[in-house]
Amino acid sequence: MEVRDAVLTSLREYDMLYGADRVICALSGGADSICLADVLLSLAPELGFRLECAHFNHLLRGAESQRDAAFVSDWCDKRGLKLHMGSGDAAAYAAESRIGIEEAARTLRYAFLDSLGDAHTRIATAHQADDQAETMLLNLLRGSGLKGLGGIPPVRGFYIRPMLNIERQTILTYLRQHGLEHVEDSTNRDTHYRRNKLRHEVMPVLREMNPAFSTLCSRSAKLLREDEALLDELAGKAVTMEGEKAVLSAAEFLSLSGPLRSRALRRSLGAFGVQPEEKHVAALLELARTENPSAQLDLPAGIRAWRQYDQMMIARQEKSLPLPETKLICGQWTEISGTKLSVFCGDKPETAKIHGKFTTFFFKKDKICGNITVRSRREGDHLALPGRQGKSLKKWMIQEKFPASERDRVPVFADEVGVLAVWGLGADERAAASPEAADSVLVILERT
């Protein structure tokens, strides 16, 4: 298949240009990027997009880097293409961040390209079939699973890679046939870099064993990505995101096959930008199996997992501060600092709106000792609900399955003697009055 036809096939197969009217080709000046830019330029009128280019100078090769920038600028000028130029000191960034040069260069380059993309723009990179094969092998050397062996995806956000099905030799042939010059990066021959060592010493042996090795790798990568997508979809059904919290049913989770369980956990942690190690996955599995309904587990990057009875929650740790003790003023609404709660305390009006038996309370005036306050639970708090045996507030909260992480934020109404009522439980029999009682105090709790 001709290069142009192969690129067009990829663009259509993966719907790479849907909703886009601009394509920016990442242009290093090397053979692959020059080939892609030339093909995209020929396709632009047919497919209805505007082509622009982008070049990033990593400031690693002195005069050679300047040569590449000048070559790319001249190439675009001759074709009337807009060129976005960027630069960054990859060596300094690597030293500052304590990472390798390759990783630093990639991070800076993609930060630059990210700044150019938007909903109507695609960033085209010239990764080809040999790059795909090298990536798969490098990931295999790192012990990657299915996702890593799926290699470079054809589409990721606004990034598109329409040459993954084309080998480098085919690209070089295209350049010769069309009389296109390109520049060579001298560092590409340095076998101290792992990818270069693989490219120059390992890949030739594999191609000698099977000349179609790169093409077959691209085909395998596609199949593996399809399997990965299916498994990820199945695992995703076990995870529900509730705001900033991942929620899994422990029973449903444990009914999954082993691979789907691990994948569901990785997906849950991935939502918070965490790539878990095997020991973290194992610890989460134990958390799902435990019979302790309030067990919890601290994970990297400030993530905490905990059991909430039959559910397992994963979220960023946020310290649960107790409610500030707040005195209620008769006849008016009082806001509880640091919350979205307001409390009314006063005589019962004739048109009192009863919001609910656990958020609206009536107390006998002659049974209230001192001021009424709202606060968090305290050690020794006791609650005796009408018609039920009294017990410690701690036992009530366990019995009624209040989440352990939220118990310190449950509003408790009290006077100088002790607990008058608890949100979600009810009023203590010591001072509880019926709504019809004439001489009573009304307390209403509302979210603002």
Q: What is the pTM of this model?
A: 0.67
pLDDT at residue 319 in the model:
62
pLDDT at residue 51 in the model:
98
pLDDT at residue 270 in the model:
82
pLDDT at residue 441 in the model:
83
Write out the chain in H/E/C secondary structure.
CCHHHHHHHHHHHCCCCCCCCEEEEECCCCHHHHHHHHHHHHHHHHHCCEEEEEEEECCCCCHHHHHHHHHHHHHHHHHCCCEEEEECCHHHHHHHHCCCHHHHHHHHHHHHHHCCCCCCEEEECCCEHHHHHHHHHHHHHCCCCHHHHCCCCCEECCEECCECCCCHHHHHHHHHHCCCCCCCCHHHHCCCCHHHHHHHHHHHHHHHHCCCHHHHHHHHHHHHHHHHHHHHHHHHCCCEEECCEEEEEHHHHHCCCHHHHHHHHHHHHHCCCCCCCHHHHHHHHHHHHCCCCCCEEEEHHHEEEEEECCEEEEEECCCCCCCCCEECCCCEEEECCCCCEEEEEEECCCCCCCCCCCCEEEEEHHHCCCCCEEECCCCCCEECCCCCCCEEHHHHHHHCCCCHHHHHHCCEEECCCCEEEECCCEECCCCECCCCCCCEEEEEEEEC
Per-residue tens of pLDDT for the chain, all 448 residues: 699 999 999 999 999 999 999 999 999 999 999 999 999 999 999 999 999 999 999 999 999 999 999 999 999 999 999 999 999 999 999 999 999 888 999 999 999 999 999 999 999 999 999 999 999 999 999 988 888 999 999 999 999 999 999 999 999 999 999 999 999 998 888 888 889 999 999 999 999 999 999 999 999 999 999 999 999 899 888 888 888 888 999 888 889 898 898 888 888 888 888 888 888 888 888 998 988 887 888 888 788 888 888 889 898 876 667 888 999 988 889 888 878 888 888 876 544 455 445 688 889 888 999 999 999 999 999 999 988 889 999 999 888 888 777 888 899 999 999 999 998 898 999 988 888 777 788 888 887 6
pLDDT at residue 54 in the model:
97
